[in-house]
Amino acid sequence: MTIIETLGAIIGLCSVWLTVRGNVWCWAWGIVSVLLYVGVFFRERLYADMALQLVFVGTNLYGWYEWKRGSSSHTGRVITRVSPQTMIAVSLLIVLYAGIAALFLRYFTNASLPELDAFLTSMSLAAVWMQARKYCEHWLVWFVADVLYVGMFLWKALWLTAALYAVFTVMAFIGYREWNKELRNLQS
């Protein structure tokens, strides 16, 4: 455990808590957390997750914009449900990207756990895109990814990060419940 991992974990918790609350500042806190985790994942040779953190800088900026100015009226997004067609497309893209990334990691790097790293990275990209669009179901994708991340981080002896993702798992459950409640309020 390093100071960078500790700071990344604490700031990451703040970011997800703000997301559960629907607070747009979740994106700013998220940028700081992911930048810290670039260093953590580089040290652990989890290159797909390291690259994911760099992509998350851009997706956090995108999410921040979407929550503030997205939608056709430019007044920000409201929580909605993802359509079945979109979820099928997202699922297919997860599998496709994970397969390509796993092959790259296996044959062109010394990556640790290339297939799992690639799959979780792919799920995370899909979840953060869904989160930026304020699809309620993004919490379900995060829930599954976070459970698997806990196992991977335990395997890598990243104890604090494993604990962080265990908390993220619980927060994903809470977030899904809270966003469903908000969605029902919006629809009534």
Distance CA(155)–CA(159), nearest Å, equals 9
Q: What is the pLDDT along the chain (188 residues), one digit of tens a residue?
A: 689 989 998 999 999 999 988 899 999 999 999 999 999 989 888 887 888 899 889 999 999 988 888 766 666 788 899 999 999 999 999 999 999 999 999 999 998 899 999 999 999 999 999 998 999 999 999 999 999 999 999 999 989 889 989 999 999 999 999 999 998 888 87
Residue 105 lies in a domain: yes
Residue 48 lies in a domain: yes
Number of domains in the chain: 1
The domain of 169 spans 3-72+83-187
Distance CA(155)–CA(132), nearest Å, equals 30
Residue 77 lies in a domain: no
Q: The whole model's pTM is what? A: 0.83
